[in-house]
Amino acid sequence: MSLHHPCNLSLLLFLASAAAAVIAADASGSGGGGSWQLLQSSIGISAMHMQLLSNDRVVIFDRTDFGISNISLAAGNCREDPNERVVTRDCSAHSVEYDSATNTFRPLTVQTDVWCSSGSAMPDGRLLQTGGFNDGERRVRSFSPCAPAACSSSTTTNASACIGCDWVEYENGLAARRWYSTNHLLPDGRQIIVGGRRQFNYEFYPKNDAAPGVYSLPFLVQTNDPDTENNLYPFVFLNVDGNLFIFANNRAILYNYSSRAVVKSYPAIPGGDPRSYPSTGSAALLPLKLALQPGGDVAAEVLVCGGAPRGSYEKAKVGNFVKGLGTCGRIRVNDPNPVWVMETMPRERVMGDMVMLPDGNVLIVNGAGSGTAGWEYGRDPVLNPVIYRPGNPVGSRFEVQNPTAVPRMYHSAAVLLRDGRVLVGGSNPHVYYNFTGVMFPTDLSLEAFSPAYLDGSFDGVRPAVVSPASGSGVAYGQKFAIRFTVAAGDVKADDVAVTMVAPPFTTHSFAMNQRLLVLGSEKLRSVAAGSYEVTVSSPGSRNLAPAGYYMVFVVHREIPSTGVWVKLH
């Protein structure tokens, strides 16, 4: 490995390896780092779906059909639904906007059922969410980031101050009903919506003349176990060549959604157990390392971790909660003959969430040690998150973190915030809101996990971005300067990396659209005492990074700055 390689993440990860190797030796012990903070004991709803927007607010929602939540809607905004299971007139909210900057929240209004739905942020910053259940199954709903001070808190009583700052719903926006589908933002700015229960097909939103309908995807028929439907919420990633990598059940294809052709088939993951819902492992696209000059090969690797062995669902039905899968498979998407390289996690995990951290590592958090997704089917909460270091040698990649006290079972979620914390919430393995008399009560709280890089002991080396200002725009294939300060001074080029992270839509243990790029960088220079400037290149193509808002972080000696929002256009 060259110490002068223009892309510095490899060095960063190399530097990390010495420390990580030591920690790996006690990986099964009490835990290596990070800390937990309870942010809200109740936001009134259970955080089943979460999306961070470019104003640092997180849109959160659960379902509309399972009773009265613990937060009221603004007056007059009640929902009438004759098919509702618990109440046919519901004046409680099932969505909230959480402001991560002020730790406040306010109710939002969804009028149709958003249960087990999907979505993505769009290039203009809106959240576009699709589908759900019952009256919501063909809805498209849009939420625009907006921030009048008057509607920023839980104490807001003036509903008219927030008009225009709420969900807008489009009836029959989808051509097919979509429940348990996966969405991804495409290079042309549309979303693709893949699969869902009894939907072996995909469609786009918005629609255009070239693709107005629903297109069959035989892979979803081939990977469907008729009894357990183990291919829901497929793991979909935009490959660097513009095709989609689609993983369902226990295998994957590379797919051209324009020509509707399978470009490549990948082998089944060793062991053959299913990893997608309801077996519910998780998956992430590992950091894409870009060169300074556009063009050239960019390696893409996908990591799939955990899940429940085949048959777990049927066994859970009769009270036999099988131990979850303890393995991860990692594959190089563009190799001529790709193979899964298997690794073993410190412990088994089903229903874990995988969150890309600004330093290029992966946080695996939430979930259970046994059982499976589905009502009442999880056991043995896994309270310790694990950090996976993709750049370390096999055998020293996992690092056990300090535990939370809150089990996060079925219907929990986690998202990265711009300040480097991870927002964690949800958990409701019950058909209803059940706060008492059950094994894992419906959880309405929000916590933050702060990885060890946020420890105050690193403040001396922690970078702080001075420019560009948050909210700045940057064009494709453009070189731009990032100015930052580091209190301790003496910053070396080889110790600095710049990463760019897309804010994903997270539900059911999968973060749709999650993407981290390491930008090519050069010319680190000192501009004043403690003040530096580094030149980076934005991605050269929409296949590498669809247009939209990204968080840009400067990482110095493994310690990330707070991010700045940059609009790639």
Ligand X SMILES: *[C@@H]1O[C@H](CO)[C@@H](O)[C@H](O)[C@H]1NC(C)=O
Residues that bind ligand X (CB under 6 A): 42, 67, 70, 86, 150, 158, 160-161, 241-243, 256, 258-259, 432, 434-435, 437-438, 444
Place of tokens 């300040």: 419
Gap between the Cα atoms of 73 and 109, Å rounded:
7
Closest CA to 491 of 455, 531, 454: 531
Least distance to ligand X, CB of residue 260, Å:
8
Closest CA to 508 of 219, 250, 307: 307
Compare residues 155 and 160 and give the one whose CB is closer to ligand X.
Answer: 160
Compare residues 124 and 241 and give the one whose CB is closer to ligand X.
Answer: 241
Place of tokens 């190799």: 335
Collapse the DSSP code of 379 into the 3-class scheme (helix H, G, I; strand E, B; otherwise coil) and give the result: strand
Compare residues 10 and 70 and give the one whose CB is closer to ligand X.
Answer: 70
Compare residues 6 and 441 and give the one whose CB is closer to ligand X.
Answer: 441
Residues sharing a CB contact under 8 Å with residue 109, sequence separation 6 or more, in sequence order: 73, 74, 77, 93, 95, 166, 167
Phi-psi category of residue 172: left, alpha or beta, with phi > 0 → left and psi -120 to 50 → alpha = left
Least distance to ligand X, CB of residue 324, Å:
25
Closest CA to 51 of 4, 111, 108: 108
Helix (H), strand (E) at residue 155: none
Which residues pair with residue 501 across a beta bridge? 516, 551
Gap between the Cα atoms of 8 and 4, Å rounded:
8
Least distance to ligand X, CB of residue 146, Å:
12
Least distance to ligand X, CB of residue 471, Å:
23
Compare residues 319 and 437 and give the one whose CB is closer to ligand X.
Answer: 437
Which residues pair with residue 129 across a beta bridge? 119, 141
Closest CA to 507 of 59, 144, 138: 59
Least distance to ligand X, CB of residue 80, Å:
19
Least distance to ligand X, CB of residue 250, Å:
25
Q: Is the dihedral of CA 270, 272, 273, 278 positive or negative?
A: positive
CA dihedral 310, 314, 320, 326 (to 10 degrees): 20
Compare residues 112 and 334 and give the one whose CB is closer to ligand X.
Answer: 334
Place of tokens 């998150």: 385
Least distance to ligand X, CB of residue 443, Å:
8
Compare residues 242 and 271 and give the one whose CB is closer to ligand X.
Answer: 242
Q: Is the dihedral of CA 150, 51, 356, 568 positive or negative?
A: negative
Compare residues 204 and 532 and give the one whose CB is closer to ligand X.
Answer: 204
Are 219 and 261 in contact, with CB atoms under 8 Å apart?
A: no
Compare residues 226 and 437 and give the one whose CB is closer to ligand X.
Answer: 437
Least distance to ligand X, CB of residue 243, Å:
5
CA distances from 75 to 72, 102, 160, 168, 346 (A): 8, 24, 11, 18, 49
Gap between the Cα atoms of 450 and 440, Å rounded:
24
Least distance to ligand X, CB of residue 176, Å:
22
Least distance to ligand X, CB of residue 302, Å:
17
Are 462 and 525 in contact, with CB atoms under 8 Å apart?
A: no
Collapse the DSSP code of 524 into the 3-class scheme (helix H, G, I; strand E, B; otherwise coil) and give the result: strand
Burial annotation 341-362 (CB, 10 A radius, 16+ → b, else e): eebebbbbbbbbbbbbbbbbbb
Residues comprising the chain, all counted: 569
Least distance to ligand X, CB of residue 117, Å:
22
Least distance to ligand X, CB of residue 233, Å:
24
Compare residues 21 and 161 and give the one whose CB is closer to ligand X.
Answer: 161
